Structure 1
């Protein structure tokens, strides 16, 4: 990290509502957690009287099986953002350039700048088509799939082709798969390409954003660099054990994907009666409010006890909000707060509160 750049840097805004009496649709986290988490956490808390095993064999094994890669390629990190920073720390030097998608996760540009490098902004859906000449000028290229906040996932074949071109150009490709677990698409970790680093977050899919558990995946010299640079004891014992437990809950993941897909389409149909809604493969929907005032839309929803994300903080978005996809009852409250008719008929799969094989978290206040 470049000291001068750190002193010039700034924080960036994110979703997430601290008032627990407000229904939070500003952060894209699962409202449910897998069964058994509390017991695993309690056991891990007692085990936290000792330092964790810095090799994290159980966590690496579970993450490797989940991502479809050799466990030795897994680098444990305290959340997906920590994996992103670690990737940039071993890749970028002051004066380098990095291809950064927009509109997309605001931390990419911030983290690039903290390394003393310069972000070169490219429309998110054009990054995989970047020409070979442009790649040769960049030390790093970033793809977010599904992209946040727009929601579209990158075609795996197009991503594989882009990875090959990045490798030929000597450009490291960082693939942020924070929300890929909500889809059945394969991870870029399966490419096993020398120049690809994958960043994964557990906490969104499993409804535990405060746990801070994630991992990176790389191969060859990149893997060695990440493993050498990662902090000792990079995951606390509770995060490592709960994370490994969650990664093995196949039924929970499958049911979550089905629920999110069903509810997302139901919500889209309602929201499109008032807004222009972007296509999405993710647990959120980006809405262009058109001639409505964004501040008024946000304020009106909050008066009804619902927090939604002001998407104007994303580069290039001037009239947008983003809403998460939760469970049916919560989603109906959001739709009612936005005055788009929350009482739409849903498929039977979304009817049961027990359909995800997990527990509800948070308050509905």
Structure 2
């Protein structure tokens, strides 16, 4: 089946429109001049509620569903609440995907995460590395939930013939990120920590781990454009990596964040804290072969994200982004 072209007649439902990727997808659709997607806040619809989710999908009858809703967090949050990360994400996925299948939604994009791959997968990580080795223990519960989502999509494709697809983004950042002091991912966590150190006049900033792990970072707006590109140009059972194909050490990232924020003190590493996976960079050959490449450089993306963070501090309605929540 030929992938559809998104146009003014396409009804898109974005599950997780207030989250990092979901909000970027709303912006991406607007940049194309397409109609605003169907959305529902967590107060209007708890996606862990199967019956309510089924009623919502039956009423809206979308042509495309993008499942970007998830419980997300950094190493500390994943390690402290593995049961919640496993349960919430499985329930969200089952509710949305089962409801979409019941309605025969012709096109679904399931968004996973690069944490699905084995801890010691060969680098750069190819899509066929999935399920070839043990996971990183600090986020294995979240990863298992996302792997279940990939297999759910594959099962529907095999049984029903629907052209559903999965995308596996690398570490994302940008407007709408979670800047919680302990529950955020590494990049927004560093931005907040260095900002507060600069504001308080602190002499140093402590960064978890040794600083040697290597990570890849993609701006959320680039990730959203990649998702739309996949919806229009890809149809296959295997997940597609979404990233830049380049990485930096955590120490290099910390130095770049310090420059962007204007912090001139010392950067110290707490080696008693976990590093996580030694290196994680994606092989993005499949996506590039489909004609897509990112546009936002890391420094440019950091600068724009920091500007958004500063603006959000003055807006009460934006302060929730600094707390851990289900991105719905």
The structure having more radius of gyration, on CA atoms, is 1
TM-score between both structures, scaled by the size of structure 2: 0.36
